């Protein structure tokens, strides 16, 4: 019983943490979009590539903790592409960044599940 | 007296979620450090029962921190669990460096305390509860 109660407390705490951290996740996504923009216009340099790699790595490590497993997986694929010798598949990269935007604008799955349970 | 865990990770969200999960669900006492250097200092001062250590950090990364922990007599015997992203996970290599185990990020905060206990061979709080449920007749 205690464990179950504490798990519910943890879920509530995670929702609170996600509310505070979501703006940062969105700004990390913006770093990816900015890199993509520079890549399209041939202005991508090492600095913005590093910023994009860091952003993708952070998103990959964090999103799944808040029920956005798909977001983590998407960010991990982006990170993988960004570590290739040259970012060869810009179309795939663009598609993944779009997907990530879509996922971040939605609500994490675990929180949706919780809402259903509460109905 | 709850066991003490030290979480070393440069990502604030991961520190916060791990601490909340391990305290609330696992019943541990948790201290956190945001860099390898701070982690070494805290490990030396607090002598935690185990350490969760992020692999990829600026300055002193997880591997270098693990090496230093294993070199210092005061911290050499503290079990270290490495936290690593899927793309970096090479369990065998990491275990060869002296890690007690590897946890892949992103972790499930509900499952984290159990996973830590499983790696370290500790009884989980769930087990403790089961025991206490059966207690004295």
Does B11 have pLDDT greater than 80?
yes
Give me the interface pTM, i.e. the ipTM.
0.81
Task: Report yes or no: A117 at the B interface, CB cutoff 8 Å.
Answer: no
CA distance B27 to chain A (A): 10
Work out the pLDDT band at A86, boundaries 50, 70, 90. Answer: confident
Residues of chain A contacting B13 with CB distance shorter than 8 Å: 17, 21, 24, 62, 65
Work out the pLDDT band at B132, boundaries 50, 70, 90. Answer: very low
- What's this model's pTM, rounded to 2 decimal places? 0.85
Does A96 have pLDDT greater than 90?
yes
Domains and CATH numbers, chain A: 2-118 (1.20.120)
CA distance B126 to chain A (A): 7
Residues of chain A contacting B106 with CB distance shorter than 8 Å: 60-65, 69, 72
What pLDDT does A72 receive? 94
Query: Do the Cβ atoms of B121 and B81 come closer than 8 Å?
Result: no
- DSSP codes, B109-124: TTTHHHHHHHHHTPPP
Which among B129, B125, B101, B103 has a CA at the least distance from the CA of B114?
B125
Query: Do the Cβ atoms of A59 and A29 come closer than 8 Å?
Result: yes
């Amino acid at each position: 019983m205690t464990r179950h109660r504490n798990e519910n407390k943890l879920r509530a705490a995670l929702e609170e943490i996600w509310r505070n951290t979501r703006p940062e996740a969105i700004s990390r996504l913006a770093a990816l979009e900015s890199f993509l923009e520079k890549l399209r216009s041939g202005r991508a340099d090492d600095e913005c590539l590093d910023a994009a790699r860091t952003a993708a790595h952070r998103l990959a490590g964090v999103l799944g903790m808040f029920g956005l497993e798909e977001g983590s997986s998407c960010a991990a694929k982006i990170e993988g592409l960004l570590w290739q010798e040259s970012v060869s598949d810009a179309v795939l990269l663009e598609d993944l960044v779009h997907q990530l935007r879509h996922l971040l604008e939605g609500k994490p799955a675990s929180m949706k599940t919780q809402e259903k349970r509460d109905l | 007296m709850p066991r003490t865990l030290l979480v070393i990770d440069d990502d604030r969200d991961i520190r916060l979620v791990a601490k909340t999960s391990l305290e609330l669900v696992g019943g541990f006492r948790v201290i956190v450090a945001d860099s390898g250097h701070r982690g070494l200092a805290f490990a030396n001062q607090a002598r935690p029962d185990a350490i969760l250590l992020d692999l990829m950090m600026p300055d002193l990364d997880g591997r270098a921190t693990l090496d230093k922990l294993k070199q210092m007599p005061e911290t050499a015997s503290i079990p270290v669990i490495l936290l690593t992203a899927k793309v970096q996970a090479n369990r065998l290599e990491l275990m060869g460096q002296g890690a007690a185990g590897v946890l892949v990020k992103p972790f499930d905060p509900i499952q984290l305390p159990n996973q830590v206990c499983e790696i370290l061979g500790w009884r989980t709080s769930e087990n403790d509860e089961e025991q206490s449920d059966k207690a004295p007749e």
